[in-house]
């Protein structure tokens, strides 16, 4: 079979935490040599896009920025195209907030239209309470991805899935979730490669987010 391109998950698929999974870089080199397009996909929205590029490069992967698509990037594109002009309250790390602002989104800390939930390792009780109050006041909840857990070197960290359900239950709302397995992100990846998504292969480690 001849595949149009490969969409490749990162956490738990080509590395776990800071440890590269054996053979993953050779697989990417094989795709390069065969001229098969590929994009690395990650739902992890804890860091800016460049962080993931630098991590892959440090592990010996032959990649460039156009080979990396994060749920944060997908969410930014969604907000710009589907929620133009809306003001955002970010529950996100400082680096991700900087990416949001650089993309042209307006951050708002008093009367936002949207509460944006990312994988925030700097989350505080104050952020949670502020998000709750904004949502009860009519703001929309948008989450970068649905993962319950994020792989580490030897275990897992709690991801944002439980926080999504917390806000949904407490506020009686339903979140809009952008990352995998939402087809929106996969369609973006296909466009990045310039291929038909029907012929692309998704490589991942968990059925509930990757397939």
CB-based contacts of 201: which residues, under 8 Å, 6+ apart? 3, 5, 6, 7
Q: Specify the pTM.
A: 0.82
pLDDT band at residue 206 under the 50/70/90 scheme:
confident
Rounded to whole angstroms, how far apart are CA atoms 209 and 211? Answer: 6
Residue 64 has a CB neighbour count (10 Å cut-off) of 9
Rounded to whole angstroms, how far apart are CA atoms 96 and 75? Answer: 11
CATH domain 73-177 topology: Rossmann fold (3.40.50)
Q: In the chain, what percentage of residues exceed pLDDT 90?
A: 56
Cβ(77)–Cβ(184) below 8 Å: no
Residue 152 confidence (pLDDT) above 70: yes
Q: In the chain, what percentage of residues exceed pLDDT 70?
A: 98
pLDDT at 168: 98
Helices within the chain (DSSP H only): 24-34, 49-58, 71-82, 94-102, 125-136, 161-171, 183-193, 207-210
Rounded to whole angstroms, how far apart are CA atoms 93 and 121? Answer: 6
Rounded to whole angstroms, how far apart are CA atoms 33 and 71? Answer: 28
pLDDT at 19: 87
What does the DSSP assignment read for 178-206?
Answer: -STTSHHHHHHHHHHHTS-GGGEEEE-S-
Cβ(189)–Cβ(39) below 8 Å: yes
CATH 3.40.50.1000 segments of the chain? 5-71+180-210, 73-177
Higher pLDDT, 111 or 198: 111
pLDDT at 181: 79
pLDDT tens digits, 69-115: 988 999 998 999 999 999 999 999 999 999 999 999 999 999 999 99
Whether domain 5-71+180-210 has CATH 3.40.50.1000: the reply is yes
């Amino acid at each position: 079979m001849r595949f149009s391109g490969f969409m490749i998950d990162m956490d738990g698929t080509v590395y776990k935490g800071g440890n590269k999974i054996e053979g993953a870089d050779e697989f990417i080199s094989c795709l390069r040599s065969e001229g098969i397009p590929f994009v690395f996909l990650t739902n992890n929205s804890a860091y800016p896009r460049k962080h993931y590029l630098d991590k892959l490069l440090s592990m010996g992967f032959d990649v460039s920025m156009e080979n990396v698509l994060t749920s944060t990037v997908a969410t930014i594109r969604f907000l710009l195209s589907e929620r133009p002009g809306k003001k955002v309250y970010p529950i996100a790390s400082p680096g991700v907030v900087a990416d949001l602002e650089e993309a042209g989104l307006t951050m708002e800390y008093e009367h936002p239209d949207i509460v944006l939930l990312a994988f925030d390792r700097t989350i505080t009780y104050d952020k949670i309470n502020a998000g709750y109050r904004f949502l009860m006041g009519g703001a929309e909840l948008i989450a970068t991805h649905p993962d319950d857990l994020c792989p580490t070197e030897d275990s897992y960290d709690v991801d944002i899935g439980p926080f999504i359900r917390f806000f949904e239950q407490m506020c009686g709302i339903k979140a809009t979730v952008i990352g995998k397995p939402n087809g929106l992100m996969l369609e973006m990846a296909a466009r990045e490669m310039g291929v038909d998504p029907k012929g692309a292969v998704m490589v991942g480690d968990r059925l509930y987010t990757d397939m």
